[in-house]
């Protein structure tokens, strides 16, 4: 019984090793059977014909897969010729005594099993890429030559031999003219054999088609696996980017306000202790708020990582859900550090649901953080216009640093210190939902950050 281990060891062999083993096995079976029947009533009248058939069969199996076209042509041409010359005694007349004394019983095939080399050659050729028409032409043509050419060879032998030395009384009575010898052709056997060869060729062609389709499927499957790995890597990169944006937005905004408020309180602590105490109370409240927001962000990120899908959007599907109250509290934080913020927000329900609305909140948050940390501004204005054409966000400040450099978005780069993450993060968020982000000089004397986000159905 063939086990899985045996099949695995067989597949590990090279094609040459497999073919040689198969050919050796076929040879052992063929010649072993000849040896067994050699002393029985099944013994063929001319055993050398069966030897020739066995040799061609072994050679066909050994080389048919690696050299299908060459093997097909060689077997189709040589096998009928060698079979006829050995079977009829022409080889002996030509001086090839290795085949023994001719013993001819009939002018046709001595056994149907002698078709084996042609059947195997036709099948292997078609199964290894040779066109069906070519395989059928050579294999079926070789059979025609074998069955029609044999009487011709017999006639030649009879015309140049002494019939007294021929084996069998029936052979001694055969006429030597070609027309009479053709009556010995078995037409039904000829038609059956041609049909059998045609069937083997078609079977081989079907095997080749199935193997080719399987190879295409395996190639496509490998390509799908590769694309899936690339997509997974892309999703992982997008997820890491989103996590970085969420953590940056939540932590940077709160901590920046705390730092600025603490610095301001430290400068007046000696002269105005009450301001210090008020700042400490505000810092405690802001710290708790920041800690709560960070915990919520981490909780949602852990939930997203354990889920079946990775979010590659702007964070609307997994990030903590803010509302318009959060936007208003952002302005309050800036007022607490000395920046007067005016806000014009849309009149809608407090809860924000779509990815576009959530992206708008994050962009406003990051823009106000930049105003607080980098602009050295004393006033800012936030305008959120919402309509059927989408969301238009405008954040202006009166920062003392002047207007932004030309192409500031194109030249922004992330750094290990974290500088540059704000502009890049806002641009990435806007792009993720199909929007745009622009940075230019604002009417208050500082920067204007303006984002347009398309409506989301």
Q: How far, in Å, CA of 17 to CA of 10, rounded?
A: 9
Judged against a pLDDT cut of 80, whether residue 414 lies above it is answered with no
Of 160-169, 178-187, 214-223, the range with the highest mean pLDDT is: 214-223
What is the number of domains present in the chain?
2
Q: Print the domain residue range for 324.
A: 225-453
Q: How far, in Å, CA of 10 to CA of 6, rounded?
A: 6
Q: How far, in Å, CA of 311 to CA of 317, rounded?
A: 7
Q: How far, in Å, CA of 295 to CA of 324, rounded?
A: 20
Q: How far, in Å, CA of 379 to CA of 371, rounded?
A: 9
Residue 196 lies in a domain: no
Residue 2 lies in a domain: no
Domain boundary among 129, 157, 185: 185
pLDDT in the model for residue 25 = 92
Judged against a pLDDT cut of 70, whether residue 255 lies above it is answered with yes
Reported confidence tier of residue 310, pLDDT bands at 50, 70, 90 = very low
Return the DSSP state at 361: H
Domain boundary among 134, 159, 185: 185
Of 4-13, 311-320, 415-424, minimum mean pLDDT range: 311-320
Q: What is the pLDDT averaged over residues 379-385? A: 93
User: 439 with 338, same domain?
Assistant: yes
On the 0-12 / 13-18 / 19+ scale of CB atoms within 10 A, 55 is middle
Higher pLDDT, 274 or 433: 433
User: 169 with 233, same domain?
Assistant: no
User: 26 with 167, same domain?
Assistant: yes
Residue 143 lies in a domain: yes
Identify the sign of the CA torsion 137, 143, 148, 154.
Answer: positive
Contacts of 163 (CB under 8 A, 6+ apart): 171, 172
pLDDT in the model for residue 421 = 67
Q: Which helix (H) or strand (E) holds 150?
A: helix 132-159
User: 241 with 297, same domain?
Assistant: yes
User: 245 with 149, same domain?
Assistant: no
User: 272 with 142, same domain?
Assistant: no
For residue 441, the SS3 value is strand
Residue 107 lies in a domain: yes
Residue 444 lies in a domain: yes
Of 65-79, 232-246, 351-365, the range with the highest mean pLDDT is: 65-79
Of 108-117, 176-185, 265-274, 298-307, the range with the highest mean pLDDT is: 108-117
Higher pLDDT, 211 or 355: 211
Higher pLDDT, 295 or 361: 361
Residue 327 lies in a domain: yes
Q: How far, in Å, CA of 37 to CA of 87, rounded?
A: 19
Return the DSSP state at 175: -
Per-chain mean pLDDT for the chain: 79
User: 111 with 251, same domain?
Assistant: no
User: 166 with 292, same domain?
Assistant: no
Return the DSSP state at 347: -
User: 171 with 320, same domain?
Assistant: no
Q: How far, in Å, CA of 195 to CA of 104, rounded?
A: 27
Q: How far, in Å, CA of 41 to CA of 35, rounded?
A: 13
Return the DSSP state at 451: E
Q: Closest by alpha carbon to 128, among 47, 63, 197?
A: 63
User: 124 with 66, same domain?
Assistant: yes
pLDDT in the model for residue 304 = 58
- pLDDT digits 0-9 by tens, 317-363: 444 566 778 888 888 888 888 889 999 988 765 456 677 888 888 89
Residue 428 lies in a domain: yes
User: 73 with 124, same domain?
Assistant: yes
User: 313 with 443, same domain?
Assistant: yes
Residue 209 lies in a domain: no
Q: Closest by alpha carbon to 257, among 149, 175, 317, 339?
A: 339
**The CATH number of the domain where 248 resides is what?**
3.30.565.10
Q: How far, in Å, CA of 197 to CA of 199, rounded?
A: 5
C-beta of residue 53 within 8 angstroms of C-beta of residue 110? no
For residue 158, give Cα distances in angstroms to 20, 155, 305, 330. Answer: 40, 5, 91, 115
Q: What is the pLDDT averaged over residues 275-289? A: 80
Q: Closest by alpha carbon to 103, among 171, 41, 50?
A: 171
């Amino acid at each position: 019984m063939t086990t899985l281990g045996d099949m695995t060891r067989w597949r590990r062999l090279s094609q040459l090793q497999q073919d040689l083993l198969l050919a050796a096995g076929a040879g052992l079976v063929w010649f072993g059977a000849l040896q067994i029947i050699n002393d029985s009533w099944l013994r063929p009248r001319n055993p050398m014909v069966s030897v020739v058939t066995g040799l061609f069969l072994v050679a066909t199996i050994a080389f048919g897969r690696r050299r299908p076209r060459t093997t097909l042509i060689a077997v189709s041409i040589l096998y009928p010729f060698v079979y006829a010359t050995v079977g009829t005694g022409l080889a002996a007349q030509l001086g090839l005594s290795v085949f023994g004394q001719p013993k001819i019983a009939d002018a046709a095939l001595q056994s149907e099993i002698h078709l084996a080399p042609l059947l195997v050659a036709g099948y292997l050729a078609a199964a290894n890429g040779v066109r069906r028409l070519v395989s059928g032409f050579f294999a079926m043509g070789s059979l025609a030559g074998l069955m029609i050419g044999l009487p011709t060879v017999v006639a030649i032998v009879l015309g140049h031999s002494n019939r007294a030395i021929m084996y069998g009384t029936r052979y001694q009575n055969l006429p030597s003219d070609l027309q009479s010898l053709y009556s010995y052709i078995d037409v039904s056997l000829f038609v059956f054999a041609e049909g059998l060869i045609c069937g083997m060729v078609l079977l081989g062609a079907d095997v080749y088609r199935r193997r080719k389709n399987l190879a295409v499927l395996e190639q496509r499957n490998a390509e799908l696996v590769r694309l899936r790995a690339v997509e997974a890597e892309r999703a992982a990169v997008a997820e890491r980017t989103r996590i970085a944006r969420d953590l940056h937005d939540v932590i940077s905004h709160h901590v920046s306000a705390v730092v600025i408020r603490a610095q301001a309180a430290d400068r007046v602590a000696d002269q105005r202790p009450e301001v210090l105490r008020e700042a400490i109370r505000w810092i405690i409240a802001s710290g708790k708020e920041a800690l709560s927001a960070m915990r919520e962000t981490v909780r949602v990120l852990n939930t997203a990582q354990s889920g079946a899908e990775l979010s590659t959007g702007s964070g609307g599907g997994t990030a903590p859900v803010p509302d318009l109250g959060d936007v208003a509290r952002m302005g309050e934080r800036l007022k607490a550090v000395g920046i007067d913020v005016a806000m014009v927000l849309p009149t809608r329900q407090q809860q924000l649901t779509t990815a576009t609305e959530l992206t708008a909140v994050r962009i406003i948050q990051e823009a106000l953080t930049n105003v607080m940390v980098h602009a050295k501004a004393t006033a800012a204005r936030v305008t959120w216009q919402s309509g059927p054409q989408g969301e238009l966000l405008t954040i202006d400040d009166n920062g003392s640093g002047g207007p932004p450099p030309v192409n500031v978005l194109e030249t922004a780069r992330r750094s290990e210190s974290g500088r540059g993450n704000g502009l890049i993060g806002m641009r990435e968020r806007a792009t993720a939902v199909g929007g745009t982000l622009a940075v230019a000089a604002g009417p208050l004397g500082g920067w204007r950050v303006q984002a347009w986000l398309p409506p989301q159905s």
